[in-house]
Amino acid sequence: MKTEEITSPAYLMEMANAFRVSRIILTANELGVFDFLSGNDSTSAITATTLKTDVRATDRLLNALVSLGLLTKQGDIYRNTGFAGKFLVTTSPAYLGGLSLASQTWRTWSTLTDAVRQGTTVAMSAHINERTDSWKESFIAAMHARAGKQAVETAAALDLSATGKVLDVGGGSGAFAFAMIRRNPSIRATIFDLPNIIPITKRYIGQSGFSDSVDTVSGDYLADDLGRNYDLALMSAIIHINSPEENILLIRKGAAALNPGGQLVIIDHIMSADRTEPAIGAMFALNMLVGTLHGDTYTADEISTWMKAAGLTDIVLTETPSGVQLMTGWKPVGA
């Protein structure tokens, strides 16, 4: 469903100024405010001394966090709310790991005006494989957190009954592979990702308890072979990084990696023909504009055309209850 037309000037100004709330939360997270106040109620002066920030400015930031419902204040003592303690403290199992990535994304989004003028990113500093360790850790943590419910729904939506070997291209933390194995314990998965990501992947595999079911291969999915004899090849949240030409190549390589009767599954923001729905996909296209050289979100017709060109058939678009969009194509038996 499309967003309703905006008719209120006041609401438009509220939307235009929404960045202020975002920046308050991201700054508090960057400075470690919620971690410091975890079990450690404090004044703004003590907080500033510990965090090495200005006292007056810290006081105003804490007051703003109170107004947002993330801190409470009694006298001059601040403390986390229960919600903040659960979701904003980095040691909490429910911590929203995507916040660190959101801080980095904020910086690229500030270049949107120039990116629209130029037609591509003006902010990208390095290929993902060459970015800082902290950036890669934040990125994979955010993708792992995002994948939680999506991976479970994806595994439930797929026919995994005859699936033995799975290739997860650009699989990051392995969350989708783990969900498939939980659905069908006989599955053996290979996670293919960049050389500087694979060490992070291996750590997630060890933490998951699936070391006997999941292995890794390092490489560049556009430059290197993806292997052979897989029953399912998954491409989750990667086609939006690429140009159409790169996706044609990638999908062809994914199809070549499949056994006859195998399935290629693409998970992404899959757009309507006019590129306005889903709304999150329309906005994400701009995220790719400011952050990548050639990335975009693509329509169902475009993806279907690329799959057919790779020899896949019976292509279907599926949407899970939470809105995850999957396109699945099958490699014909005898191909």
For 108-131, how does the pLDDT look when each residue is reduced to its tens digit (9 = 90+)? Answer: 899 999 999 999 998 866 566 666
Burial of residue 86 (CB within 10 Å: 0-12, 13-18, 19+) is middle
- In 3D space, the residue among 250, 247, 319, 240 whose CA is nearest the CA of residue 282 turns out to be 240
Would you place residue 4 in the very low, low, confident or very high pLDDT band (cuts 50, 70, 90)? Answer: low
pLDDT at 2 over 60: no
pLDDT of residue 155: 95
Query: pTM of the predicted model, to two decimals?
Result: 0.86
pLDDT (mean) for 61-65: 97
pLDDT of residue 6: 82
Encoded amino acid at 235, one letter: M
* Helix, strand or coil, per DSSP, at residue 78: strand
| Domain residue limits, the chain | 9-90, 114-330
Please indicate whether residue 47 or residue 104 has the higher confidence score (pLDDT).
Answer: 47
Measured N-to-C along each axis, helices 175-183 and 133-157 cross at an angle, to the nearest 10 degrees, of: 30
* Helix, strand or coil, per DSSP, at residue 60: helix
- In 3D space, the residue among 173, 184, 41 whose CA is nearest the CA of residue 98 turns out to be 173
* Helix, strand or coil, per DSSP, at residue 110: coil
Burial of residue 13 (CB within 10 Å: 0-12, 13-18, 19+) is exposed
- In 3D space, the residue among 235, 251, 243, 226 whose CA is nearest the CA of residue 312 turns out to be 251
Q: How many CA atoms are closer than 13 Å to the CA of 303, on its beta-carbon side?
A: 28
Contact 190, 214 (CB under 8 A): yes
> Is 114-330 CATH 1.10.3720.10?
no
- Residue 32 vs residues 35, 43, 58, 86: alpha-carbon distances, Å: 5, 15, 12, 15
Q: Which residues in 38-173 belong to E strands, given as ranges?
A: 71-74, 77-80, 165-169
For domain 9-90, give its CATH number from 3.30.160.150, 1.10.10.10, 3.40.1000.10, 3.40.640.10. Answer: 1.10.10.10
Query: Among 97-101, 235-239, 240-244, whose mean pLDDT is lowest?
Result: 97-101
Burial of residue 148 (CB within 10 Å: 0-12, 13-18, 19+) is exposed
* Helix, strand or coil, per DSSP, at residue 201: helix
